[in-house]
Amino acid sequence: MKTTPRNLLLSLTLGVAATLAVAQTSQPAPAAASAAAAPAKPSGTGTIVHPISKNITDRLTKSTRHMDLVKIKQGDREVETYIYYPMDRNKAMSVILIHEIFGASDWMRAAADQLAEAGYIAIVPDLLSGMGPNKGGSNDVPEAQVTASIQRLPAQQVMDDLNAVADYAKKLPASNGNLAVAGFCWGGGKSFAFATVNKDIKAAFVFYGAAAPAADLPKINVPVYGFYGETDRNLASSVPGTDAAMKAAGKTYEGIVYAGAAHGFMRSGQMDNATAADKKAAEDSWKRMLDLLKKIDVPAAAKPAAATSTK
């Protein structure tokens, strides 16, 4: 195989992960889910670097957290999924991260590692799994074709994949049973849509993604939090309308527009040449999401004890 920056970073990252897997106690797949998921070998020619950032490269190659790469069964499909675990002996909330139009990229996995560092189980499903050459996923599709390939994904297939990943996540031995979803760009829209079909998540975080259709909003039973860049006028200008539609449906929606930030600021804000506005928006958004996760990550209320008959 020809050595490229993509192959090199993948080799370094997986080498670190393999070393850590030996040094640490691995998180086993739950018995109930073992038939639906199995350890996966990385496929394709390498992971996507779009674009390259020292921040991202350093995080992926120097992380001390445990990462599992599994294949989760969904019908006749298998969804290759990265799972990053926090270094904590206590059970943790799980957060599904839905990737951008660029697929399960290095940045998505770096974001998952960052979330795991904050104490959460971070899960990145590759929704292009099985759709690339030789039934591969994001790593097998030429970078120039990734965007178009993701745009062609059937909407129902995406929701079914996410439901399968959510079911698997809830059964992880390290999970405390709480689950949230967060998506970016294309994934932001899918995060909003997922809130209309899954009743188990605690919240949906929508980073510069389109809102679900108004007709589907009554199906939502969790709060939805939006994050948008001011110069991303198409989406930023949609916030008042989304707010009104969610209120009309009796749902909770809080959308914030970050001054001077562009579309994709969570990624661009971590680039080596990030603008001040994008960097600040990324930092503020990250803090906001962590603060909100902390508030919603609470144990389910204990059920009242059944009354004892005196007869």
pLDDT 10s digits, 144-170: 899 999 999 999 999 999 999 999 999
Alpha-carbon distance of 269 to 282, in angstroms, equals: 6
With cut-offs at 50, 70 and 90, classify the pLDDT of residue 132.
confident
pLDDT 10s digits, 83-107: 999 999 899 999 999 999 999 999 9
Q: What is the pLDDT of residue 5?
A: 42
Calculate mean pLDDT across residues 277-296: 98
The dihedral region occupied by 115, where left means phi > 0, alpha psi between -120 and 50, and beta the remainder, is alpha
In CATH terms, the fold of domain 5-296 is: Rossmann fold (3.40.50)
Alpha-carbon distance of 240 to 185, in angstroms, equals: 19
Q: What is the pLDDT of residue 16?
A: 42
pLDDT 10s digits, 224-278: 999 999 999 999 999 999 999 999 999 999 999 999 999 999 999 999 999 999 9
pTM of the complete model: 0.84
| CB 213 within 8 Å of CB 197 | no
pLDDT at 143 over 90: no
